[in-house]
Amino acid sequence: AQKITQTQPGMFVQEKEAVTLDCTYDTSDPSYGLFWYKQPSSGEMIFLIYQGSYDQQNATEGRYSLNFQKARKSANLVISASQLGDSAMYFCAMREGGDTGRRALTFGSGTRLQVQP
């Protein structure tokens, strides 16, 4: 089974509107972290936001927020007030285990977001 599933290969959103990018995950480990990364057309990977499995509140970073629903194993990224510069590939990723566990990230297949003027 896939550990990270992103079901939207591509999304369109109008400038200034909000958009939600979906991510579901699969783990039996009680301790894990969820990350979102942005990859613009220039190719670099930019860290956006993090949610820990024990965090009580949903994470927020500026215009980015994470809608974390633990029981549903979903960690959707919400981008508010979309800007043209938000057009990029977005990856959801998970890190399992505590400090002694696996440290590498498992990535989803990504969602390509296009913001239209």
19-27, 62-70, 78-86, 97-105 -> range binding other proteins (CB under 8 A): 97-105
Residue 25 pairs in a beta bridge with 4
Q: Do 11 and 113 contact (CB within 8 A), yes or no?
A: yes
Looking at residue 115, what DSSP letter applies? E
Using the rule CB under 8 A, which residue among 86, 91, 92, 113 binds other proteins? Answer: 91
12-20, 27-35, 69-77, 78-86 -> range binding other proteins (CB under 8 A): 27-35
Q: Do 68 and 55 contact (CB within 8 A), yes or no?
A: yes
99 binding other proteins? (CB under 8 A)? yes
CA 75 to chain centre: 7
10-18, 65-73, 79-87, 103-111 -> range binding other proteins (CB under 8 A): 103-111
Q: Residues with Cβ < 8 Å from 113, sequence gap 6 or more?
A: 10, 11, 12, 13, 19, 21, 79, 86, 87, 88, 89, 90
> Which lies closer to other proteins via its Cβ, residue 18 or residue 45?
45
Binding site for other proteins (CB under 8 A): 31, 33, 35, 37, 39, 43-47, 50, 52, 54, 89, 91, 93, 95, 98-99, 102-107, 109-110
